[in-house]
Amino acid sequence: MINTYLDENRTNHARKLFDQNPSSRNVVTWNTMIAGYVKGDQIQHAQDLFDQMPMKDVVSWNTMLSGLQKTKNPEGVYLCLLQMRRAGLRPNEYTVSTVISGVLDSVFNVLVSQVHASALCLALNMSVFVGSSLMRGYASVGYQVGLQRVFDEILLKDVTSWNALVSGYMELGCLVEAQRAFDRMPVKNVVSWTSLVNGYIGNKRINKAWSVFNKMSERNVVSWTVMISGYVQNQKCMDALKLFIRMLKSGIRPNHFTLSSVLDAIAGCSSLIMGQQVHSSILKSSIPGDVILSTSLVDMYAKCGDIEAAFSVFESMPKKNLVSWNSIIGGYARHGLATRALEEFQRMIKSGVRPDEVTFVNVLSACGHGGLTEEGEKYFYSMGEYAIKAGVEHYACMVDLYGRAGKLEKAKKLIKRMPCEPDVVVWGALLGACGLHSSLELGQFAAEGISNLKIDHPAVYSMLSKIHSEKGGWSSVIELREMMKERRVNKQKAASWVESPFGVR
């Protein structure tokens, strides 16, 4: 926080000197000022200053491109590149790399092949730096031929270009080609091995990833973190925690990314004591707290049952992002504290943070748990104000909301009006509500919906049996049990509806 304050003060002081001495301005001072604003995440100030520049060089354009890329503005990156080319400036290696990074995962990723063509004309394609960026770009758009072509064009291939090829193949799901490229590498480093491990994790081959990790002769904090995170992603939280202990014993100090993954694992195991121990270690260590680590702490405490500790950490955060707000709102929703969840949502809006799809799932879930039907309807229909289209998760929350309130006909009508196909969670929410309110007709309607999805789950038979027995239809109960035997559906073991795929969200 102090560093940020000092950076802002330096930038403000530099701006005063800059404004007071117009005669001393040159391209370098203009570029320095723009770079300061970009570093301080003040992109609008950077853009205003950039637009005022009487003369721009390639550094000016690259600095502005990096700012737009940093703020995830692919359209801005595209327009800036266009203006740069119209101004007659020749892009360099840094320009190509920044543009590729700036347009990935957006509709502007079609620029990858155009940037490649431009790099060919400018003879930049043979550079390892440019080649690695282009390979990353082609992997992102799913074009294997382009990935291989760029690799072949690189004049002097080093370990970085080989690593980019392995990572690219892994991203495309070409596991055999990735392993073959790895085996052909003339020189391997710790990044090479980590890229292979990460690739197998990304393709849900966790056992293969572990096998490669075990063969590594050298591991750094990134390698350990990737493997720990991989276990968390695959719901193997205890394995993640065991590996973390092994890492500490090996003498490798964790960084904030490691600790964030460990906290996610602790949340998955609901181990509050271990979470408190890790939190205590973070406070005693010299690891600087950041928004990612703090958000993981909020999430961990909320999922481990200590919502007040979660709120305390949340309030202590000097900077909060959308994920942080979603964590505390979701935490309150899970604890049935609907009013507090909605209060945090309003605070979030007032602070200028725009909600996303996850925010509304949490808000609607809070309304459902708190029996706030009217509020839930209001928030559901307000999603369009934020340009958010209701998805199947939001409809499931609304069905659950109506179901808890006993408004089963409303739930049925909502399902029929869905723009997308209802999934098992939507039908399950309705079936659960039918069990709660002993509605046989709608229970059969929900069971039919689940059956159409080609799912034979014991919870369906159990719930229908429950409804029939409450209505005194014992012959139907016997019939259902016979049907379960015929279809070899095992009776569901004791579990709460929360643990069931048809349970409460």
Residue 257's pLDDT is: 92
Dig out the tokens for 264 from the structure: 């996610």
SS3 197: helix
Neighbours of 196 (CB within 10 A): 28
**pLDDT surpasses 70 at 485:** no
Scored b (16 or more CB within 10 A) or e, 92-117 reads bbbbbbbbbbbbbebebbebbeebbe
Please state, in angstroms and as integers, the Cα–Cα distance from residue 173 to each residue in 77, 147, 179, 362, following that order. Answer: 29, 13, 11, 33
CA-CA distance, 266 to 424, in Å (whole number)? 28
Q: Tell me which residue of 154, 206, 147, 201 sits closest to 172, measured CA to CA.
A: 147
Q: Does the pLDDT at position 18 exceed 70? A: no
What pLDDT score does 3 carry? 38
* Helix, strand, coil percentages for the chain (3-state, nearest 5): 75, 0, 25
**Mean per-residue pLDDT, 96-125:** 83
Judge whether residue 473 has pLDDT over 70.
no
Q: What percent of the chain has pLDDT over 90?
A: 51
Whether residue 353 is predicted with pLDDT greater than 90 in this model: the reply is: yes
3-state secondary structure of 217: coil
| Strands (DSSP E) found in 247-327 | none
Average pLDDT, the chain: 84
What is the pLDDT confidence band of residue 235, given thresholds at 50, 70 and 90?
very high
Report pLDDT for 30: 84
Tokens representing 318 are 């000097």
Q: What is the pLDDT of residue 8?
A: 52
Q: Taking phi first (over 0 means left), then psi (-120 to 50 degrees means alpha), and beta for anything else, what does residue 72 get?
A: left
Sign of CA dihedral 254, 256, 259, 265: negative
Handedness of CA 161, 166, 169, 171 (dihedral sign): negative
Q: To which residue do tokens 């530099």 refer? A: 14
- Mean pLDDT across 245-269: 94
Dihedral (Cα; 25, 31, 32, 37), 10-degree rounding = 120
**How far, in Å, CA of 466 to CA of 450, rounded?**
17
pLDDT in the model for residue 7: 53
pLDDT of residue 472: 44
The pLDDT confidence band at residue 382, using thresholds 50, 70 and 90, is very high
478: confidence class by pLDDT, cuts 50, 70, 90: very low
Scanning the structure block, which residue is given the tokens 């354009």?
61
Q: Assess whether pLDDT exceeds 50 at residue 493.
A: no
Question: Which segment of 15-24, 399-408, 464-473 scores lowest on mean pLDDT?
Answer: 464-473
- For residue 199, the Cα-to-chain-centroid distance in whole angstroms is 17
pLDDT of residue 211: 97
Is it the case that residue 346 has pLDDT exceeding 60?
yes
Residue 458 has pLDDT above 70, yes or no: no
pLDDT band at 503 (very low <50, low <70, confident <90, very high): very low
Q: What is the pLDDT of residues 31-50, one digit of tens each?
A: 888 888 888 888 898 898 88
pLDDT for the residue numbered 36: 87
- pLDDT value for 463: 53
Residue 58's pLDDT is 92
What integer is the mean pLDDT of 257-263? 95
65 — pLDDT class (breaks 50, 70, 90): very high
CA distance 152 to 184: 14
Angle, CA 342 vertex, CA 340 and CA 344 arms, to 5°: 70
User: Does residue 2 register a pLDDT over 60?
Assistant: no
Average pLDDT (223-245) is 96
- Whether the CB-CB separation of 32 and 53 falls below 8 Å is answered with no
pLDDT category of residue 6 using cuts at 50, 70 and 90:
very low
Q: What confidence category does residue 442 fall into, taking pLDDT thresholds of 50, 70 and 90?
A: confident
pLDDT of residue 11: 60
Mean per-residue pLDDT, 102-108: 84
pLDDT tens-digit readout, 143-189: 999 999 999 988 889 999 999 999 999 999 999 999 999 999 999 99
Q: Using CA atoms, how far apart are residues 410 and 81, in angstroms rounded to an integer?
A: 52
